[in-house]
């Protein structure tokens, strides 16, 4: 993934502006340096006092100690934002610096499907339906097993999200800097997703739900196109090609994948196979056949759904099949 121009400008802006300073502050203030070279912490602090008329909160997941230097706060791990509320409210300018090198905890990036979808599909394509036994499924799952990482790290993402929401309540006009030396594709993806979260944070409720809905649909569409996980050929999806009365009886139709219901094609299906009504539940749906091989995505893996929707609201996004966007949004709002 390439950085968008906007992102690039952002990074450049702080280069022209304060980025070197912020990066150097970050470097000064990593735990090791602070312990081994306390004088550098002071020089970093002096620099801030001299050059900047603002408070900077640094998010750094590795930095687990409570630290408070006048004008500079660590909000990681144990430090409670509550304790800073008064100070922050009276600050003329507030910024947050997030170390993007710590930004590797977005489950949807790590999801099983993203990494292994094409391998699994290839393996399935090569098999005859009678070879798809429980043992074959078990072997596939073992071979392409998702690393635990994507799930355990969700906690860190939740931590950061909760902190941002709180910060927004106290000080809605904060600036955000992303700092770090190199940007990997994964980090660019995470920055993009995090920016969407921050944008949504600033919207009113109605606009926010609509924005979340559209952005998540867009991301699913991108992934479906990229990973081709229904593997359509001649209007038949993989599950239809492997249909079998005893072991795989889904979907009931002969063509058009899940968009063909029992007796007719869904009324919302366009001639070219696309959906007229942007149904998020259908987009998220994965049939039992490819699902049992681990292909799929979960609503909680999407930062926006995880950050702003309750479990019940997420359930509406998952189970409102064959419904237009407006109906699903209404259900979410009432959820
Ligand atoms: S999810 Fe639907 S379209 Fe995709 S493979 Fe399964 S039955 Fe086919
Ligand atoms: S509503 Fe669902 S089943 Fe109907 S066309 Fe859209 S995606 Fe297909």
Locate 114 and state its tokens: 């993203």
- Testing ligand 2's pocket by substitution, the residue of 261, 263, 273, 279 carrying the most ligand atoms inside 8 A of its CB is 279
Could you tell me the pTM of the whole model? 0.75
Give the SS3 label for residue 320: coil
C-alpha 279 – ligand 2 centre gap (Å): 6
**SS3 (DSSP) at 265:** strand
Cα–Cα distance measured from residue 321 to residue 331, given in angstroms and rounded to the nearest whole number: 12
Cα(165) to ligand 2 centroid in Å equals: 34
pLDDT reported for residue 309:
95
Determine if ligand 2 sits within 6 Å of the CB of residue 279: yes
CB distance 224 to ligand 2 below 6 Å? no
Residue 32: CB atoms within 10 A of its CB come to 8
pLDDT at residue number 61: 40
Q: Which residues of the chain have pLDDT under 50?
A: 1-53, 60-81, 147-152
272 Cα: distance to centroid of ligand 2 (angstroms): 12
Residue-wise pLDDT for 238-285, tens only, equals: 888 888 877 788 888 778 888 887 778 889 998 888 899 999 999 999
Buried b (16+ CB within 10 A) or exposed e, 216-242: bbebbeebeeebebbbeeeebbbbbeb
What pLDDT is recorded for position 174?
A: 75
Pocket test for ligand 1, best of 113, 124, 238, 296 (most atoms within 8 A of CB): 238
Per-residue DSSP letter, 146: P
């Amino acid at each position: 993934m390439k950085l968008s121009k906007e992102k690039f400008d952002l990074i450049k802006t702080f280069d022209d502006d304060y980025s070197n300073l912020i990066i150097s502050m970050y470097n000064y203030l990593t735990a090791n340096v602070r312990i081994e070279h306390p004088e550098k912490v002071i020089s970093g602090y002096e620099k801030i006092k001299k050059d900047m008329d603002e408070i900077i909160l640094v998010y750094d997941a590795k930095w687990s100690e409570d630290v408070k230097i006048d004008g500079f706060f660590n909000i990681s791990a144990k430090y409670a934002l509550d304790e800073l509320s008064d100070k922050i409210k009276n600050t003329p300018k507030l910024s947050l610096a997030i170390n993007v090198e710590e930004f590797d905890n977005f489950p949807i990036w790590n999801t099983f499907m993203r990494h292994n979808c094409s391998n699994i599909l290839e393996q399935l394509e090569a098999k005859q339906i009678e070879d798809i036994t429980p043992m074959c499924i078990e072997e596939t799952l073992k071979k392409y097993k998702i690393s635990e990482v994507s799930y355990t790290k969700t906690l860190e993402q939740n931590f950061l999200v909760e902190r941002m929401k709180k910060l927004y309540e106290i000080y809605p006009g904060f600036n955000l800097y992303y700092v770090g030396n190199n940007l990997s594709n994964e980090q660019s993806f995470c920055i993009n997703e995090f920016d969407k979260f921050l944008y949504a944070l600033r919207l009113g409720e109605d606009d926010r739900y609509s924005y979340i809905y559209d952005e998540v649909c867009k991301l699913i569409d991108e992934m479906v196109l990229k990973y081709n996980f229904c593997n359509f050929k001649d209007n038949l999806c993989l599950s239809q090609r492997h249909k079998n009365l005893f072991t795989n009886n889904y979907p009931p139709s002969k063509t058009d994948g899940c968009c063909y219901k029992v007796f007719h094609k869904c009324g919302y299906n366009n001639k070219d196979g696309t959906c007229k009504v942007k149904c998020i539940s259908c987009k998220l749906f994965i049939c039992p056949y490819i699902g049992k091989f681990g292909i799929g995505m979960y609503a909680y893996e999407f930062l926006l759904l995880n950050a702003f929707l309750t479990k019940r609201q997420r359930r509406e996004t998952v189970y409102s099949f064959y419904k237009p966007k407006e109906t699903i949004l209404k259900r979410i709002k009432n959820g």
